[in-house]
A and B are shown apart, each in its own frame.
Chain A
Amino acid sequence: QQPVQSPQAVILREGEDAVINCSSSKALYSVHWYRQKHGEAPVFLMILLKGGEQKGHEKISASFNEKKQQSSLYLTASQLSYSGTYFCGTEGGSNYKLTFGKGTLLTVNP
């Protein structure tokens, strides 16, 4: 089942922070995060595995709460280059297939 991302869209000014959430109705084994700029290929950001760990990538970090079956992506001191659509992909079974959410459109303005 497709995970639910929120918010659907967010507009920031450069330097502001944002949180993007990804929730699933079933147990999760891992969560992937990707960013896609308009007309381009999605780019891998990070994977979070079962265990509640938090990972970081530049000023972008994420957490994974397996009990709540959700993950959050944190963007700190946003830059113009952070603009794009962020997708979470969840893996909830033994076959490691990813199911992606519908995406969150992030726009960072000067």
Chain B
Amino acid sequence: DGGITQSPKYLFRKEGQNVTLSCEQNLNHDAMYWYRQDPGQGLRLIYYSQIVNDFQKGDIAEGYSVSREKKESFPLTVTSAQKNPTAFYLCASSMGWGNQPQHFGDGTRLSIL
């Protein structure tokens, strides 16, 4: 059954700590995305990758980093530089780049301890 798997479902971060959110897809999609969702704010783009070994900053990239070493994987690291990391994080993928439906994972909820 093809889809996008995000883990963990819930994550807690201590002060000064970096945490990594996992996103894996078995849809053979080229493009992958990370969004942040805050209550009442919609989805805001953090980073996106059109193809393996390439990625670009989205609208709110500060305090985040990503890698795309494999087609199926696009992990997001929330660094200590992100001062307000509490949010719901969604990973998505699409077959190609441009006017393609995006398929979303079930999300990771990150909170500060």
Interface residues of A (CB under 8 A from B): 2, 29-30, 32, 34, 40-44, 47, 49, 87, 89, 91, 96-103
Contacts and interface: CB of A to CB of B under 8 A. Distances in A.
Given A41-B90, A47-B99, A49-B99, A97 B106 contact: no
Q: Is the interface of B mostly helix, strand, loop or mixed?
A: loop
27 contacts: A29-B99, A30-B99, A32-B102, A34-B102, A40-B106, A41-B104, A41-B106, A42-B43, A43-B104, A44-B101, A44-B102, A44-B103, A49-B99, A87-B43, A89-B43, A91-B99, A96-B97, A96-B99, A97-B48, A97-B58, A98-B102, A100-B43, A100-B44, A101-B42, A102-B40, A102-B41, A103-B42
Contacts of A34: 102
Interface of B: 4, 35, 40-45, 48, 58-59, 90, 97-99, 101-107
Contacts, number: 49
Contacts of B107: 41
A100 B98 contact: no
Nearest to A48: B99
Given A44-B101, A91-B98, 16 more contacts: A29-B99, A30-B99, A32-B102, A41-B105, A42-B43, A42-B102, A43-B104, A87-B42, A87-B43, A96-B98, A97-B45, A99-B45, A100-B42, A102-B41, A102-B42, A103-B42
